[in-house]
Chain A
């Protein structure tokens, strides 16, 4: 009986967590592209106006970012101005939760068929590297190791702390600006 009552609450909590994490990650993608040169170099290969989407199938939470040129991303929230060029689609909110709560690495989620790639796979590979770089910055090393295939050896604590602080500050600023708007 109790389990039956808790089930919908757990499900709702997961959904809210995934929505919140998408909002954080979208803003963080924009921020990291402003902070980190390596991410900009990676993103520069994407066409200007390129739209990247992560979403939960069939019509769940989503995040959309656009490459606005020079390797910089702009976070569009959950609505795209046009169809996305590359979309990474989680088959179920539970799968998104596993990845976004760092219980399953992004690469393992791909290997486990938890998500589909719609669009040019080479761009999806590039965006995965950007996401890995972002996670390596903003997560404590012990958690980042659970999220990425390999924690970058050349990412040392001072650089990590400074970049993470900048990224979190930008995320917070963006949240405030959105709330005011």
Chain B
């Protein structure tokens, strides 16, 4: 199943662990940056998560020149333009994105405008348009799931045209990703669960889909192990900073894995469900994961069976006959989802979400089979197949 040819690229410096934020001034100085701008959202600021970042910089004599804290959940070209204007007016020379997927994607898009010039970010949409390095860019994730700190893509909504613009370039990758357990300590339980399952899905899909490769496999299996071992511990003890760090690292590792091997049908269905029913991405991932694995089962039996080692540990792996390991992996995921449902009511079926109606399933299936990630699903997916998976996920 492993490809005979593959590509792997991740030049992001990962700065992870206790007091990681305090490395920001040194790292910025190393890139000759003296006037950083923070891009974040109101939730992050209200939760007090900016305070340690600002304090870490000020204690080293580095002033944050400007803070933009109004990034919406679905960032737009207008927001990117506005932030770029502030960056220029304040003569900033670097960007620190603090937040989840939206703040990070916005930071990436702002970096394109302030580095390449102009007002129209839509000009840079597509793959491979950027030809040179951008301004110094750091990312401080405040959720442990998206892996955006190590992906070379950003998605911004063009509000005038009502379409989502994808930007893909290795130059979008930040210079550094700062993984500090303080940043995820206050995440509410349902967000912790959904984002961790997002990371789990990134890892499992990257390990079982068509572009898997030996390097992404190493990151994926490590991520699966970390989420399996730490998620329920953190759910039971949210202030467990070591457990939080494990989840944050798992998210970054899963991000490195999937950005080099892509994802499959879970994401196709999740993207479509998010667009049509406005459900959070992580929730969709958790919801669809076992149903898609069952659909793909005969194509991915071997790698899925291998994952049992990382999901359940060596004893269970050794005690399970090789021919049953793939099914046992799916069972382990179902048990994990049940445990999460018990702790924070993270939905396991579409019906449990209360936000999807059965008559929307056709529309979701129609959109899902045209999603780019479906190309990398190991098994061909027809409209009928997608509809059948949705029906199984319904209730």
Contacts and interface: CB of A to CB of B under 8 A. Distances in A.
Given A125-B370, A150-B380, A110 B375 contact: yes
A125 B371 contact: yes
A113 B7 contact: yes
Given A112-B211, A149-B379, A150-B380, A125 B3 contact: no
Interface size class on chain A is: 20 to 34
Interface in A94-140: 107-108, 110-114, 116-119, 121-126, 128
B374 A125 contact: yes
From A114, A124, A150, residue with most partner B Cβ within 10 Å:
A150
Contacts, number: 51
Interface of A: 107-108, 110-114, 116-119, 121-126, 128, 148-150
Given A110-B210, A111-B211, A121-B372, 20 more contacts: A107-B210, A108-B3, A108-B210, A110-B376, A111-B209, A111-B375, A112-B3, A113-B6, A117-B372, A118-B126, A122-B370, A123-B370, A124-B372, A125-B369, A125-B370, A125-B371, A125-B374, A126-B370, A128-B375, A150-B379
A12 to B, nearest CB: 24
Contacts of A128: 375
B127 interface: yes
B128 interface: yes
Nearest to A132: B380
Nearest to B369: A125
Nearest to B268: A125
A112 B6 contact: yes
11 contacts: A107-B375, A108-B210, A110-B375, A110-B376, A111-B211, A111-B376, A112-B211, A113-B211, A114-B5, A125-B369, A150-B380
A149 B296 CA distance: 13
Contacts of A116: 127-128
A111 B3 contact: yes
Nearest to B366: A45
Contacts of B379: 149-150
B262 interface: yes
Given A107-B375, A111-B211, A117-B127, A149 B380 contact: yes
Contacts of A149: 379-380
A48 B374 CA distance: 25
A112 B5 contact: yes
Interface in B351-393: 369-372, 374-376, 379-380
Contacts of A123: 370
A125 B372 contact: yes
A128 B369 CA distance: 12
B161 to A, nearest CB: 12
Contacts of B6: 112-113
Interface string B1-20: 00101110000000000000
A159 B3 CA distance: 34
B73 to A, nearest CB: 23
A150 B375 CA distance: 12
Interface in B98-128: 126-128
Contacts of B5: 112, 114
A117 B379 CA distance: 21
Contacts of B374: 125
Contacts of B127: 116-118
B311 to A, nearest CB: 24
A112 to B, nearest CB: 5
Nearest to B209: A111
Nearest to A123: B370
Nearest to B262: A111
A124 B371 CA distance: 10
A148 B382 CA distance: 13
A121 B369 CA distance: 11
A108 B378 CA distance: 10
A46 B3 CA distance: 32
Q: Which 6 A-B pairs have the closest CB atoms?
A: A150-B380, A121-B372, A111-B211, A111-B210, A122-B370, A149-B380
A122 B271 CA distance: 12
